[in-house]
A and B are shown apart, each in its own frame.
Chain A
Amino acid sequence: MKHRLSAFAAAAALGAGLALAGGALAADPIKIGIPVGLSGANSVVAPSVVQSAELAVEEINAKGGILGRQVQLDVADDGSGAAGAQKAFDSLIFQKKDDALITMETSAARNAGLPIVSRGKVPFIYTSFYEGHSCNPYLFVNAWVPDQQVAPIVDYFMQKKGAKTFYLVGSDYAFGRGMLQFTRQYIQKKGGKVLGEEYEPMDATDWTAIISKIRASNPDALVTSTAGGAPNVTLTKQLRAAGIKSLYGNLAVDEGTAKSMGADAAGIYISASYLTSIDSPKNKEFLAAMQKKFGADLKTPNDLSVPEYEGVYLYKAAVEKAKTTKADAVIKALSEVSFEGPRGLIKMSKERHAPLTMYLGQVQADGSVKVLESFKDVDPGNQCPKLK
């Protein structure tokens, strides 16, 4: 009698415990961490990135979340640099215990955060365009690399505008140097001449010395690759104030920053995977939803913020395919899933990177971008041949 009662009690307790545990798991939110440059160079674009993520999460939660669990965002400031990134990644991975990181950052911040990601074993979807060849077992990239972005601008300058001499200016870190190294090789391969290549630190605001050198060498075209955000504005302002007349191709300015520059931005050539003027039903739907959610506070969606929206959805697709948030399974799934977003069909299937449709455009006086040429499904090349 006593045995059966205690056995029954044990079974009841076990059953209750399992039910409670199962119930608790179902209620546990999936946490996505966003370490992003709320201060520093990227602070001009970070708000638009956070807005994209917020819209994606709101839409996903309204439809029941991922695997029945609600999604929660944790945003941390990485100071647009290495020191801040270490603090941000540490707090998101080890204190907040986020299930994944999905964000846009400077290459300095990304490179400082990757060892922490490897230690924490958390999937990291990098949604920013960058200089390429960053490879890590936990890293995926859904934005462009130089193999996709540089050719349109240089080819246009050389073939359609007859440019033969180039001057290269960048921010002195992985992105600036990596982009311009690729650009120099491409220009020389096509028979052009690089008159000079100069760098300033990421947070520098005074371009006087470099502008004097540009004026002295008088190149047909200027190609710049500064950190996204503030350096683009200060450099462009000072170039325009100095009356430099060369063709101006900017590898790192997004539509939002260009708009905030006002008249100074007119005439700049950009090569991007996203423009607000993309004429697709998905893009129009996305823009309408952003306008509805943020109204007057909306920051112009741009090539640094839209991949964030798609990145969150790609993570959702991967978790649903893997049926778990466990890192190994999700990482396997991330190269197999795809998402139809404002930029078209995105699939990070080529060595952790994604083939993308690229647009060559010129900024107009009213801040809008006129599309000059478009290139469908440009291959990212061999970015990480050693990773499976």
Chain B
Amino acid sequence: MSAQFLDIVTTAAIFYVVAAGLLIIFGVMKIINFAHGGFLTIGGYAALIVTQLGLDPWLALPFAALVGLVIGALVERFVVRPLYARPLDAILATWGLGIIIGQLITIGFGREVQFVQSPVQGAALVLGESYSQYRLLLVLGALLLAALLAAVLHGTRLGLMTRAVIMNESLARGLGINSGLVRFATFSLGSALASLAGALITPLSSVDPNMGVPWLVNAFMLVLVSGASLVSLGVATLVLGGAQVLISAYGSPILGSLTIVVLAAVILRIRPQGFARE
């Protein structure tokens, strides 16, 4: 029983970290960044580089975030910004970008499955269960991330401007807020978060050029169900992630992988705002 509880909490934490970057881009720019899966993959390969260089596995996290930040900034400037007035085309452009990222990685790293060093090995005794330490640390990571994002959004000037743009972009521009800067910062940060998430999830599994694609669908559904709120994302990951864990355990893992998509569709049908407050 307590193992199930730990599974739910750690799975929710993993989904939170993966979806946060997609959420902030959606909230501010009102577009879904379909290159999100590609950035997850970039983060995974950044971690691979750290492993191959023989460096401390913890370095993979800041390195992946940095790589994501830089590439995200370039993408915003040259791919997304020119398409500002055409959001649907911008979404298509990010989809194409995701494919390009996958192919470039195949050319650069080869297409085979590779593995990354885990910074933490072994199990710890929690709630009477011996459980993976790394998964438990990810819960801590997700909480830290949520706190950090909340601090930036509610405690900084940029955060204030961002909240204004989320509420009503035209009005914010009318008040003199540089929404272009906000969009640039948001996309870069969202990409950095996606990359960081990629580096966080690979020690549990593996890297290959298409590792981000399965996460994209689930992250997309979680974001749709959460609106623009980080808090409702937390609720969504617990509810939907928890459902996935329980259905995988008592039904089959195949049904489990369908859970998030099916449940999200059902929730949106019943309550179009999803878990968001308004």
What residues of chain A have their CB less than 8 Å away from a CB belonging to chain B? Answer: 38-41, 43-44, 46-47, 77, 172, 198-201, 204-206, 208-210, 212-213, 215-216, 229-230, 233-234, 237-238, 240-243, 260, 263
B30 at the interface (CB under 8 A from A): no
Q: Could you name 26 residue pairs across A and B whose Cβ atoms are closer than 8 Å?
A: A39-B112, A40-B113, A43-B112, A43-B113, A43-B208, A44-B112, A44-B113, A46-B112, A206-B204, A208-B7, A208-B248, A209-B7, A209-B249, A212-B4, A215-B129, A215-B130, A233-B206, A234-B205, A234-B206, A240-B121, A241-B122, A241-B204, A242-B123, A243-B123, A243-B130, A260-B115
Given known A-B contacts A241-B123, A241-B133, A212 and B115 have beta carbons under 8 A apart: no
Is A238 in contact with B132, judged by CB distance below 8 angstroms? Answer: yes
Q: How far is the CA of A229 from the CA of B121 in the complex (A)?
A: 21
Query: Is the Cβ of B112 less than 8 Å from the Cβ of A38?
Result: yes
Measured in the bound complex, the distance between the Cα atoms of B253 and A40 in whole Å is 20
The residue on A at minimum CB distance from B211 is A205
Q: Are B132 and A242 touching (Cβ within 8 A)?
A: yes
B residues adjacent to A (C-beta < 8 A)? 3-4, 7, 11, 111-113, 115, 118, 121-123, 129-135, 204-206, 208, 245, 248-249, 253-254, 256
CB distance from B68 to the nearest CB of A (A): 21
The residue in chain B whose Cβ has the minimal distance to the Cβ of A208 is: B7
A43 touches B11 (CB 8 A): no
B115:A242 contact, CB within 8 angstroms: no
Indicate whether A237 sits within 8 Å of B118 (C-beta atoms), given known contacts A208-B11, A208-B245, A209-B253: yes
Picked from B3, B204, B206, the residue with its CB within 8 Å of the CB of A216 is B3
Distance of A219 Cα from B152 Cα, bound (Å): 49
From known contacts A39-B112, A209-B249, A229-B113, infer whether A237 and B7 are also in contact, taking CB-CB under 8 Å. Answer: no
- Bound together, the chains give a CA A212 to CA B204 distance in angstroms of 15
What is the bound-complex CA distance between A41 and B112, given in angstroms? Answer: 8
Q: Does B122 contact A243, Cβ atoms closer than 8 Å?
A: yes
Q: In the complex, which of the residues B133, B204, B206, B253 contacts A200, with contact meaning CB atoms closer than 8 Å?
A: B253
Residues in chain A near residue B11, CB distance under 8 A: 208
Q: Which residues of A contact B253 (CB under 8 A)?
A: 198-201, 204, 209-210
Q: Which residue of A lies closest to B256 (CB)?
A: A209
Q: Once bound together, how far apart are the Cα atoms of A172 and B255, in whole Å? A: 14
Compute how far the CA of A47 lies from the CA of B114 in the bound complex, rounded to whole angstroms: 13
A206: B residues at CB distance < 8 A: 204-205
Across the interface, name the chain A residue whose C-beta is closest to B244: A209
Could you count the A-B residue pairs with CB atoms below 8 Å apart for me: how many are there?
86
Known: A208-B7, A212-B4, A212-B249. Contact between A243 and B206, CB under 8 A?
no
Pick from A39, A40, A212, A234: contact of B3, CB under 8 Å? A212
A215 vs chain B, min Cβ distance (A): 6
Does A41 lie within 8 Å of B7, measured CB to CB? no
- Cβ contact within 8 Å between B7 and A242: no
Q: Decide if A241 touches B134 in the complex (CB within 8 Å).
A: yes
* Nearest CB of chain B from residue A88's CB, rounded to whole Å: 14
The 4 closest A-B pairs by CB, nearest first: A243-B123, A43-B112, A205-B205, A209-B248
The complex places the Cα of A276 from the Cα of B89 at a distance, in Å, of 56
Residue numbers in B under 8 Å from A238 (CB-CB) = 132, 204
Q: In the complex, are the beta carbons of B205 and A242 less than 8 A apart?
A: no
- Per the bound structure, the CA–CA distance linking A205 and B205 in Å amounts to 6
The verdict on A212 contacting B7 (CB below 8 Å), with A233-B206, A241-B122, A241-B134 known, is: yes
Q: Nearest Cβ distance between residue B254 and chain A, in whole angstroms?
A: 7
Bound-state Cα–Cα, A198 to B249, Å: 10
- B208/A39 in contact, CB under 8 A: yes
A230 touches B245 (CB 8 A): no
Chain B residues within an 8 Å CB radius of A263? 121
CB distance from B209 to the nearest CB of A (A): 8
Question: Which residues of A lie under 8 Å from residue B4 when comparing CB positions?
Answer: 212
Q: From residue A68, how far is it (CB to closest CB) to chain B in Å?
A: 37
* Shortest Cβ distance from residue B207 to the other chain A in the assembled complex, whole angstroms: 10
Expressed in whole angstroms, the minimum distance between the Cβ of A238 and any Cβ of chain B is: 7
Q: A43-B111, A206-B205, A237-B115 are in contact. List 16 more A-B contacts (CB 8 A).
A: A38-B111, A41-B113, A46-B112, A47-B112, A198-B253, A200-B253, A201-B253, A205-B205, A208-B7, A208-B11, A208-B245, A209-B249, A209-B256, A212-B249, A233-B206, A242-B123
Which residues of A sit under 8 angstroms from B206, Cβ to Cβ? Answer: 205, 230, 233-234
> How far does the alpha carbon of A240 sit from the alpha carbon of B254 in the complex, in Å?
23
Contacts of A39 in B (CB 8 A): 111-113, 208
* Contact residue among B3, B7, B115, B121 (Cβ-Cβ distance under 8 Å from A241): B121
C-alpha spacing A242/B135, complex, angstroms: 9
Q: Which residues of A contact B130 (CB under 8 A)?
A: 215, 242-243
Q: How far is the CA of A241 from the CA of B256 in the complex (A)?
A: 22
Tell me which residues across on chain A come within 8 A of B135, comparing CB atoms. 241
Contacts of B113 in A (CB 8 A): 39-41, 43-44, 229-230
In angstroms, how far is the closest chain B Cβ from the Cβ of A31?
24
Q: Across the interface, name the chain B residue whose C-beta is closest to A216.
A: B3
Closest to B111 in A: A39
- Which residues on the A side are within 8 Å of B248 (C-beta)? 208-209
Chain A residues, CB < 8 A from B111: 38-39, 43, 77
Which residues from A are CB-within-8-Å of B122?
Answer: 240-241, 243
Q: Which of A215, A234, A242 has the most chain B CB within a 10 Å cutoff?
A: A242
Tell which of B129, B204, B249 touches A237, judged by Cβ atoms closer than 8 Å: B204
**When the two chains form their complex, are residues B112 and A241 in contact, meaning their CB atoms are under 8 A apart?**
no
| Alpha-carbon gap, A7 to B206, bound state (A) | 73
Most buried by A among B115, B122, B245, B256: B115
The answer on a CB contact under 8 Å between A201 and B132 is no
B113 to chain A, nearest CB (A): 4
Using CB atoms, name the residue of chain B closest to A40.
B113
